[in-house]
Amino acid sequence: MNIRNEIINITNSINNKSGYSSEILKTYDYGDLDKRDIAYIKKCVFTEIENRFFIDYVISKCSDLEINRLDKIVLEILRMATTEILFMKTADYAVVDEAVEFASSITRYKDYVNAVLREVCRINVDSEDLEDDIKFSINKDLLKMLNKSYSKKTVRKLLKSFFYKSDFVIKQNKLKENNLKINLENQGFALNDHPFLKDSFIVENPESIIDTKEFKEGKFLIQDGSCSLCAEILEPLENSIILDICAAPGSKSCNIQEITNNQSIIYCNDINQNKIDRIKENVEKCAVKNVQYMNFDATILQKDLINKFDRILVDAPCSATGVINKNPEIKLFRTKKDVENLVNTQRQILENCEKYLKEGGILIFDVHSLFKVTEIFQDYLYADTNPDLTYIWHVCEGKYPYSIEHELTFFKREGERYERFEETHYQRTFAIEEYKQWLEDIGFKILEISADFLDEAPTEESERIVFVAQK
């Protein structure tokens, strides 16, 4: 396999909005390439996407042709090589030679590629006062919304945050493992205790960790703090009956049963049967027991569930994209048209869950903040593929303020053919004060409101708002 050919194949998939870059890079078939080559491909692709507009700016400065008129393959070759010259440690001459050789094998523009890249090697744009959309490679429409809503200082802080690298966090599954850190360290992985998550570790060198026996056997989950803290905040008790009403992919349900040592009964619900199958896979792998599976629309009241549950976890339907630092294409492709959020779904789910909860029961739910949906949230496309089922999820603007529409497409194998199924779901978020009023109107006492699954009050830049209320 040719490294540069694979880089262009992956980049084209991202350009075509075939899914999150992080998912594409993780699931791509790298064939017989060794780990060093795979790591190089991932770094090159991610760096190019993260700095796309800046890289295009540099190419345009070095080219006599307008880049939007270039052959797509030629442009991708130039982007790849410019990324290597500006951001990677590969020698410039080697990058140019290999890019020209690659171009000559698939295009007739090898002399043009050679001329542009040699100019890229000489150019210096460090002293130029670049506009923020070029410097931070962000869609002008999204940048305009940020500037309209926040101070220059806050906007600059946000733009810089898009380049921050998140920690790779795993959570030990104590139903199956108590010595995870030692066992993984013995295999060469560098683990640090997470500063505030119990039984969780930050992995400094996570490459190939999903190939370990421990991961395949469900001895740990790859899980950010938001998921881990949900179960802790819920404070599930043994012998209690718990509903996880929007449960897919099931990791929070697994955490709940771990806390109760499988001594509670948990009902896992999701509107999509395919997601129920995914929940079952995770439950089985993690040795979780006492699980009941349900498949209903959470916006429709289920009368047989009224006054049934001691605890309810509501991770309401949404298409959260507060992961720009992990999926930088979001800031390239999202526009104002994609930002506003869904209709009445969340409120209807909450009203139903209030009826499902026993008197005195605790309701915990989280929602996207207005900041999340107006500044971070944008047009989103995700794809999950396997031989029997392909799932494509696209998010677009809704009709109402802060609303979006989720367009779901499924291709299910039936013999030698695939059947196509389509669904549309609607979502909307509201200001904190509105949620508070609704909870009080239906008889709840608000115990706590926090942000981003931390013990902190919401700020103007919080992304998720967590409510804890008692019936």
Q: Show pLDDT as tens, one digit a residue, over the chain (471 residues).
A: 578 888 888 888 888 766 677 778 877 888 888 888 888 899 999 999 999 999 999 999 999 888 888 888 899 999 999 999 999 888 999 999 999 988 888 778 889 999 999 999 998 887 788 999 999 999 888 888 778 766 677 788 778 878 877 788 999 999 998 899 999 999 999 999 987 788 999 999 988 898 899 999 999 998 877 778 888 888 899 999 999 999 888 889 999 999 999 999 999 999 888 889 889 999 999 999 999 999 999 989 999 999 999 999 988 754 333 567 777 888 888 776 665 544 467 778 888 998 998 888 777 888 888 777 776 656 677 787 777 778 788 777 666 777 777 777 888 877 888 888 777 766 678 899 999 998 988 888 899 999 987 888 999 888 889 999 887
Tokens of 311: 């605890």
